[in-house]
């Protein structure tokens, strides 16, 4: 796969490590144990568009939010996580 890095342009996917569902960005309040349970344990696993976190570990160390179709690997959007 090729990931179109917002700062660096197209980069090979092998430069990145994968984390998973971008819902991890929405960390709930630590006091809300139920919300935290969902945050930690419940993930959608869609057949289709999926917002997910990738880390440019062999690059500029940006965390990216990538919208990717899990069925076709088509990438429709790449954003810097810190700007979302």
Would you say 18 or 46 has its CB closer to another protein?
Answer: 18
Residue 24 to residue 76: CA distance in whole angstroms: 20
Closest CA to 13 of 25, 28, 26, 1: 1
Q: What are the strands of the beta sheet with 49-55, ordered from one edge? A: 17-21, 49-55, 63-69, 75-80
Residue 19 is a binding residue for another protein (CB under 8 A)? yes
Would you say 12 or 46 has its CB closer to another protein?
Answer: 12
Q: Supply the minimum distance, in Å, between the C-beta of residue 41 and another protein.
A: 8
Residue 59 to residue 75: CA distance in whole angstroms: 19
Q: Which of residues 62-81 bind another protein (CB under 8 A)?
A: 62-63, 72-75, 80-81
Per CB under 8 A, residues contacting another protein are: 1-2, 12, 17, 19, 24-25, 27-28, 30-33, 36-37, 39-40, 53, 55, 57, 61-63, 72-75, 80-83
């Amino acid at each position: 796969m090729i990931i179109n890095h917002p700062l660096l342009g197209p980069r090979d996917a092998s430069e990145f490590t994968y984390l998973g569902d971008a819902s991890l960005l929405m960390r709930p309040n630590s006091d809300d144990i139920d919300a935290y349970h969902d945050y930690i344990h419940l993930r959608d696993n869609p057949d289709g568009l999926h917002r997910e976190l990738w880390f440019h570990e062999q690059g500029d160390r940006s965390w990216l939010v990538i919208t990717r179709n899990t069925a076709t690997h088509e990438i429709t959007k790449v954003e810097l996580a810190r700007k979302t």
